[in-house]
């Protein structure tokens, strides 16, 4: 009996060694296939994975994750966790999948489990920050993103979102400071770097720091010459600096993009070229691309806004074929206020000086210049 017992123990031990060896083999195989992005071959193991070890189940779940099969991904991450609760990786992938599925509260629990097992991984804090941000728990999101930046190999996202959160909280000075930090940390080849430069340009322009805004937008356009929104913003900067000649090639670029049908959103018909304040009002100046028509059309539009940014009235230059035919100015200065359209005894040609036009607009806003003719609304 003693001999049989020893023999049985030897068989059990040998079988256990072979089983462990087989499990190690399948885990190594799945890892190799995953490293080669051969996810379909990994997924073929799903049907025979009952006795697979935790890490092998994780690789199958990862394959489903990469194939965007969320339910199967969650299934195999749960199986992996059930066999080993000491590996943070399946908690992280499960949490990331839950974030994608907009199940943010469940994701938070999984990110926290991953962090408890490996508290020095920047990706875990980044995912946690994403969950809190989507739930508009901005203070908790900020804390998580800041924690991510304290770890080694922090991705770009936390640096950008720290600035974004300060922006959401209307903390402009902190937001601008954080965007500059992001600029120093983020990969220049990434979209986040472009977005960071754009926001730096916006904040510097709003603060009246035209030189700094110019630096940001110039660098952005060097990296992405077809960013037409930034092109329009840089035009505004040059108008703020009264460097109109620098703005001209940028305007030409927008006109060319318009002819090619490349412009979208609010740039399709016109672009904002100047913003200024007058008499307690905020004015946005736009220029339309339309040219060469023989019919009446508006060319330059100055929208006068109240404190809530509602349009009170509009001052515009209108192409007048009648005036041209009579040897007069190409554009007449007009005003649309409610149902009333007024025409001033002021005209401009293509070679006009913007400062002269702007002065006349200011005179109208301040009540120093009255329309000579009033009629029904302009269309």
More confident residue, 291 or 113: 113
Q: Span 293-297, mean pLDDT?
A: 87
**Structure confidence at residue 69 as a pLDDT band (50, 70, 90):** very high
Quote the pLDDT of residue 8. 40
In this predicted structure, what is the pLDDT of residue 15? 42
Range with the poorest average pLDDT among 3-12, 87-96, 159-168: 3-12
pLDDT of residue 266: 93
Given pLDDT bands bounded at 50, 70 and 90, which one contains residue 10? very low
Quickly state the pLDDT bin for 379 (edges 50, 70, 90).
very low
> What is the average per-residue pLDDT within 174-180?
98
In 178-310, beta strands by DSSP E:
270-278, 281-288, 297-305
Stretch 176-200: mean pLDDT: 96
Provide CB contacts within 8 A for 210, sequence distance 6+. 204, 237, 240, 241
Residues 6+ apart with CB under 8 A from 167: 175, 199
What's the rounded mean pLDDT across residues 355-361? Answer: 97
From the number of C-beta atoms within 10 Å of its C-beta (0-12, 13-18, 19+), residue 103 rates as middle
State the Cα angle at 106 between 104 and 111, rounded to 5°: 85
Which H or E element spans position 161? helix 156-168
Mean of the pLDDT values across residues 88-94?
97
Q: pLDDT at residue 365 above 60?
A: yes
Q: What is the pLDDT of residue 129?
A: 98
pTM for this model (two decimals)? 0.84
Q: How confident is the model at residue 23 (pLDDT cuts 50, 70, 90)?
A: low
- pLDDT of 206 above 70: yes
Question: What residues form DSSP beta bridges with 340?
Answer: 337
Q: Per-residue pLDDT for 378 more than 60?
A: no
Digit-coded pLDDT (tens) for 220-262: 999 999 999 999 999 999 999 999 999 999 999 999 999 999 9
102-110: long-range pairs with CB below 8 Å, 24+ = 102/134, 104/131, 104/132, 104/134, 104/135, 105/131, 105/135, 107/131, 108/132
Long-range contacts of 74-82 (CB under 8 A, 24+ apart): 74/98, 76/46, 76/49, 79/49, 80/54, 80/55, 81/54
pLDDT of residue 13: 39
**315 pLDDT above the threshold of 50:** yes
Average pLDDT along the chain:
91
Distance of CA 334 to the CA centre of its chain: 38
Q: What is the reported pLDDT for 327?
A: 87
Q: What CA–CA distance (Å, rounded) separates 247 from 20?
A: 71
Say whether pLDDT at 305 is over 90: yes
Sheet of 281-288, strands arranged across:
270-278, 281-288, 297-305, 311-319, 331-337, 340-348, 373-375
CA–CA distance from 210 to each of 223, 234, 240, 362 (Å)?
A: 20, 9, 7, 22
Average pLDDT, stretch 8-29?
A: 53
Q: Are 30 and 60 in contact (CB under 8 A)?
A: yes
Q: Is residue 93 a contact partner of residue 77, using CB atoms and an 8 Å limit?
A: yes
Domain ranges of the chain: 270-379
pLDDT of amino acid 24: 61
Residues paired with residue 271 on neighbouring β-strands, in sequence order: 287
- Cβ neighbours, 10 Å, residue 206: 12
d(Cα 34, Cα 28) in Å, to the nearest integer?
A: 10
Tokens matching residue 44: 């073929």
Q: What is the largest CA-CA distance in the chain?
A: 124
Rounded Cα distance between 130 and 146, Å, is 12
Give the pLDDT band (50/70/90) at residue 316.
Answer: very high
Cα–Cα dist 227/266, whole Å: 14
């Amino acid at each position: 009996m003693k001999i049989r017992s020893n023999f049985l123990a030897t068989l059990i031990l040998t079988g256990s060694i072979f089983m462990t060896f087989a499990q190690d083999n399948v885990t190594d195989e799945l890892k190799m296939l995953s490293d080669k992005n051969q996810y379909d071959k990994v997924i073929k193991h799903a049907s025979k994975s009952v006795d697979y070890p935790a890490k092998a189940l994780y690789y199958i779940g990862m394959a489903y994750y990469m194939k965007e099969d969320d339910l199967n991904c969650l299934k195999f991450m749960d199986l992996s966790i059930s066999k080993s609760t000491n590996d943070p990786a399946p908690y992280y992938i499960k949490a990331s999948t839950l974030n994608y599925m907009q199940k943010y509260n469940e994701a938070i629990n999984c990110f926290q489990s991953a962090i408890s097992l490996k508290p020095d991984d920047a990706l875990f804090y980044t995912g946690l920050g994403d969950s809190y941000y989507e739930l508009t728990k901005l203070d908790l999101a900020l804390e998580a993103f800041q924690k991510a930046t304290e770890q080694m190999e922090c991705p770009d996202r936390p640096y950008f979102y720290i600035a974004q959160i300060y922006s959401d909280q209307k903390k402009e000075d902190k937001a601008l400071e954080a965007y500059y930090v992001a600029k120093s940390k983020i990969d220049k080849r990434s979209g986040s770097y472009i977005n960071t430069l754009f926001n730096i340009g916006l904040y510097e322009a709003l603060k009246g720091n035209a030189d700094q805004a110019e630096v940001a937008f110039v660098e952005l356009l060097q990296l992405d010459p077809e960013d037409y929104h930034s092109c329009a913003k840089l035009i505004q900067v040059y108008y703020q600096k009264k460097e109109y000649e620098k703005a001209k090639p940028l305007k030409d670029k927008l006109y060319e993009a318009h002819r090619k049908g490349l412009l979208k959103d609010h740039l399709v018909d016109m672009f904002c070229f100047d913003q200024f304040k007058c008499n307690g009002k905020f004015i946005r100046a736009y220029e339309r691309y339309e040219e060469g028509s023989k019919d009446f059309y508006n060319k330059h539009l100055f929208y006068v806004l109240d404190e809530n940014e509602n349009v009170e009235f509009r001052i515009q230059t209108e192409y007048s074929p009648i005036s041209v035919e009579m040897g007069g100015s190409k554009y007449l200065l007009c005003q649309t206020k409610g149902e009333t359209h007024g025409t001033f005894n002021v005209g401009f040609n293509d070679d006009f000086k913007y400062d002269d036009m702007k002065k006349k607009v200011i005179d109208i806003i301040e009540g120093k210049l009255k329309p000579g003719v009033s009629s029904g609304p302009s269309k």
